[in-house]
Structures are given as C-alpha cells and as structure tokens.
Amino acid sequence: MNGKHVDVLVIGAGVSGIGAACHLTREHPGKSYLVLERRHAIGGTWDLFRYPGIRSDSDMLTFGYNFRPWTGTSVLADGPSIRAYVESTAREYGVTERIRFGRKVRRASWSSSAGTWTVEAVDESTGETETFTSRFLIGCTGYYDYDSGYRPEFDEEERFAGTIVHPQHWPEDLDYRGKRVVVIGSGATAITLVPAMAPDAGHVTMLQRSPSYILPVPEQDPVSRALRRLKVPVPVVYRLGRWRNIALQRAVFQLSRSWPGLMRRMLRRAVKWQVGDRVDMRHFTPDYNPWDERLCIVPEGDLFAALRKGDASIVTGHIERFTETGIELTSGEEIPADIVIAATGLVVQMAGGAQLEVDGEPVVTRDRVVYKGVMLDGVPNAMVVIGYTNASWTLKADLACEYFCRLLTHMDRNGYTQVVAEARAEDRSEESVMGSALQSGYIRRADAILPRQGTRGPWKLTNNVYRDAIMLRRGAIEDGALQFTRGAPTGTAIARREDPAPRQTASS
C-alpha cells in the first residue's frame, strides 16, 4: 500500500474531469489535486468509443469549455477531434502530469472525525491497491458503465451465423466492406453509424422499434465562418457563437415543451424536405412529443443522403427472433444480415461503480437528493458532475466547477473545513435527476440508481442554463441548505454551526 494526500481528488479524466482540474488550476492555483483515471488516456467517452463516424451530438460552440475556445467551425465534431481538444486543454493547464492513469477506484470513504476522504484504487496493470486521501472529492465519471453497454438478449440469436457487435466495444478488425449490416436502434449512435458505414457496406439497414425526432443542421457554422473571414478574433467568434447557440438550444427545448404539436410539424417538415417521397414518413413520426427523449442531430443531412442514394434503408418493427441469415420481425419480414450492430443503449452507473461511504455507512445514491445539481445531500465535501441532457453536457459541467471553486473560496475565507448539503423530507420527490427531463429507456432502467430530484428551491433541477448560471455563479453560498463546520468535529456527523457567519451576497 502507498498513499498520497491532496486538497482535491478528481475521479475521471474525461471532459468533466479535465474541466474540473482546469477550473481548480485557474481559480485555486495554490491547492493540490490529483486526477484518477481508469483508462490509459485522456478523453473518457471520447477515448472509449471508436465506432465509425463517432461525433458529438451537441454543437461544439457549447460543448467546448467556456474558458478555452473551440477553434473549429464544424457544428459537430468527430471523436478524435474532441479527444485532441480535451488532451490539448489538459496540457495547456498543466493537468496531464497530475493524472494517475490505470487506476480503478473501488471505494471512497468519508470520515467526519478526520475530515478527509480515503480513496482506494487498484492499479490494473499491477494489481496493487493504492490509497489516496483528500479534503474534497469531485466525481467526474459520467453516468454509464464503461465495461458493458445495454445489450438485450434476442430470441435465438445463437442461430445467427454472422457477427453481433455493440458500439461500446467496437472490434478494430471488423471488416464490413460489401457486407449486409443491420443497425438496431434509432438514437444518436445509430443515426451516426448508418451514414458512416453506408459507403463501404453492401447495404445498411437501420432497424428501429420506434422512431426518434431528427433535426438536420449545417455541417459548418455559417456565421462563425463569415466572422472568421472578416478577421474577427477567435475568442470573440467563439463567445458570440456560444451565446447564440445556447439561446437556440433553449428556444428549441422551450418550444417543444410549450407547443409540442407545432414542433412536431416543424421537425417532420424538415425531414420530409430531406427525404422527399422515397422514404415513408412513418419512420420519422415518433409516438411521443419532441424532447421527451433526446433530439437527434445529423450534420448536412448525411443520414437522409444515404437513404436517398439507396445505400441505406429504415425498417420500423419488433424483433421476433434471429435466424441463421438475419433477423425476423413480428410482422414476418426477414432482414438479411452479415453483421448486426446492437446500438441499444447504455447501462447507467454512478461513481464509476465505486462504493461510496460516509462514516462507515454505504451511500445509496437513489436515497439522496441533489443540491443545485452539484452535490448529494448528506455527503460532505464532495461534488458530482452531471451535465445537461437537454443541452450540451459541458455547459452544466463548467457551471458546476465554477460553483465548486466559489464554495472553496468561501470556505477558505471563513475558516470552514467541512460542508454538507442537508435535505428535509419535504425536499425530496420520487423523480430521478434525469427523469424530469427525458423519458428515454436507459433513464427509466436507471431509476433504481440515479439520485432523486427535489421538490423546491436548490433541490429542484430546472435544466435551464440561464437560471443555473445565476444560481451557481451569483447565488448566496449560505442559503440554509448547506451546513458548515470549522475544524474537525469529534462525532460522526457534521454539526450545525453555532456561530452563523453573515449571509453571502450575490457577489460572493
């Protein structure tokens, strides 16, 4: 066993983890920190997924960090470009040398008497267990299991003579040239795979149980390109484009919530204009309202182009069974296949699968309420980063990290050593933190794992970047929900302050 003590321990070196480390470097250069990352490279999701065509499903002007411009003009970006952006950001802020790669975190235990987190991690290359301690913990592991994607068992799939692949574990040697490929799914992964594979495959069929809403967008941002040609500085182009796209994202979401019928018609009309009369519109007519599930985006209508050319097709139906040569549907139709791609979703997991404990008691995440979208009630000196589901993930990740740095500054100024969010029974609802925004299958399956949504005030998530920006950047730190301690308490619970400090103003 060996150990290392730091002020802040960050778990995960993906978009959120690197962002958190950079914010710490910018706002608290005197604090020590380490990043523990299970993989052997920076990037998280963007290092794990290697399937053809992998790209962002949010525009890059809002998916990029607020402190470091994304210099490209593509609306969406491919996986390697995003990975390179995150890596270069880590290098620029000196984060890379503070990352300990190949460490799988098994347990994170908080001790109120010691005022520290003790984190046990396994170096998977040697099998050695290492111990790290810290005053604060930031969980940046995302919300899904990296080891396994969601993969339903299909009837008689053992009969299939071809290859079945899940996109989360894409074989490097998979040769689909000239092959008949069936992609099961209708989400972002499926609509990315189909046009990416179509030029080389014999034919690609997207088999969906139910349609998704799809929005075509330009491949290049025309406004940003025009401003760049006019020699407008890159940071200015980035900031203007970011504000514009945040407003557009919010407008589309709000329109979908307030006038779903109108939004349905607008989205279907955009698709109809792309596919013409060659494709049956029932394949693009979901039975739910826009933004009940995440809206899928395609650059330059690449999916529709593949359909128009005949390189790809869409089938809507339910799988009855696999056969030796393909998939039979409940309708009796059989789809021939040499390769089946099961783009069937994710397995949701909190804290990267690590066991969380507070004073020897396991933390059951479903029993916790989220405070301001950044902290779990009853879990001291810790933040968890959960990005937006109805906008770019990084927008919320940046705001969460800014808030955390404000919180550290406030604690330092007032001599506080511990902080915990305390929810009351009436603050808790039975809805999960993601269930309020989306009704996707993976979110419903994860209800027993995800923390709860609050009923009011700082416990209730708005999924509104404008409101969150005001609350997290300017809202009072001491709002009655956070309890602070000066010095290390002797008991096992965080005690309430007996000498309340003056309430923070909006400028704190």
The dihedrals phi and psi of 126, each to the nearest 5 degrees, come to: -120, -20
Write down the pTM of the prediction: 0.91
Instruction: Note the pLDDT of residue 488.
Output: 57
Q: In CATH terms, is domain 3-146+347-485 a member of 3.40.50.11890? A: no
Q: Are 335 and 132 in contact (CB under 8 A)?
A: no
Q: Which of 205, 167, 219 is nearest to 345 (CA)?
A: 167
Domain with CATH 3.50.50.60 in the chain: 3-146+347-485
Q: Where are the alpha helices (DSSP H) in 165-315?
A: 188-197, 222-229, 234-258, 260-275, 302-309
pLDDT at res. 438: 59
Please answer whether residues 144 and 449 qualify as being in contact, where contact means their C-beta atoms are separated by less than 8 angstroms. no
Collect all residues with Cβ–Cβ distance below 8 Å to 6 and sequence separation of at least 6.
32, 33, 34, 132, 133, 134
- 334 forms beta bridges with 328
Nearest Cα neighbor of 110 from 101, 120, 102, 100 is 120
In this prediction, residue 319 carries a pLDDT of 97
**pLDDT tens-digit profile, the chain (508 residues):** 345 899 999 999 999 999 999 999 999 999 999 999 999 999 999 999 999 999 998 999 999 999 999 998 899 999 999 999 999 999 999 999 999 999 999 999 999 999 999 999 999 999 999 999 999 999 999 888 899 898 999 999 999 999 999 999 999 999 999 999 999 999 999 999 999 999 999 999 999 999 999 999 999 999 999 999 999 999 999 999 999 999 999 999 999 999 999 999 999 999 999 988 878 999 999 999 998 888 999 999 999 999 999 999 999 999 999 999 999 999 999 999 999 999 998 888 888 999 999 999 999 999 999 999 999 999 999 999 999 988 999 999 999 999 999 999 999 999 999 999 999 999 999 888 876 655 666 677 777 888 998 999 899 988 899 999 999 999 999 999 999 999 754 333 333 322 333 323 223 3
Backbone angles phi, psi at 326, to 5 degrees: 165, -145
- Cβ count within 10 A of residue 187: 20
Dihedral sign of CA atoms 265, 269, 270, 275 in order: positive
Whose tokens are 């990084």? That residue is 394
The CATH number that domain 157-342 falls under is 3.50.50
- Category of 290 on φ-ψ map: left (φ > 0), alpha (ψ -120 to 50) or beta: beta
The pLDDT value given to residue 493: 36
Q: CA–CA separation, 14 vs 65, rounded Å?
A: 12
CB atoms inside a 10 Å sphere around CB 355: 13
In angstroms, the Cα distances linking 251 to 74, 307, 374 are 21, 29, 24
From residue 11, alpha-carbon distances to 152, 194, 293, 448 in Å are 30, 34, 29, 23
Does residue 98 contact residue 88 with C-beta atoms inside 8 Å?
A: no
Give the C-alpha separation, 297 to 199, whole Å. 20
Given CA atoms 433, 437, 440, 441 in this order, what sign does their dihedral have? positive
Phi then psi for residue 145, to 5 deg, are -80, 120
**Cβ-contact 134, 8 below 8 angstroms:** yes
Tell me which residue of 250, 187, 193 sits closest to 213, measured CA to CA. 187
Encoding tokens for residue 243? 């504000």
Q: Which residues neighbour 196 within 8 Å (Cβ) at sequence distance 6 or greater?
A: 51, 52, 53
Encoded amino acid at 246, one letter: I
Residues 6+ positions from 100 with CB-CB distance below 8 Å: 34, 35, 36, 37, 121
What is the pLDDT at residue 294? Answer: 85
Look-up of token digits 């419903």 = 444
How many residues in the chain?
508
Q: What is the dihedral of CA 97, 101, 107, 110, to 10 degrees?
A: 10
Q: How far is CA 146 from the centre of its chain?
A: 13
Cα(231)–Cα(164) distance, rounded to whole angstroms? 50
Cα separation values, 417 from 134, 176, 377, Å: 12, 57, 17
State the pLDDT at residue 90. 98
Q: What is the pLDDT of residues 38-96, one digit of tens each?
A: 999 999 999 999 999 999 989 999 999 999 999 988 999 999 999 999 999 999 999 99
- Note the pLDDT tens digit of each residue in 480-501: 999 999 975 433 333 332 233 3
Tokens standing for residue 118:
């003790």
- What is the token pair recorded at 150? 């969601």
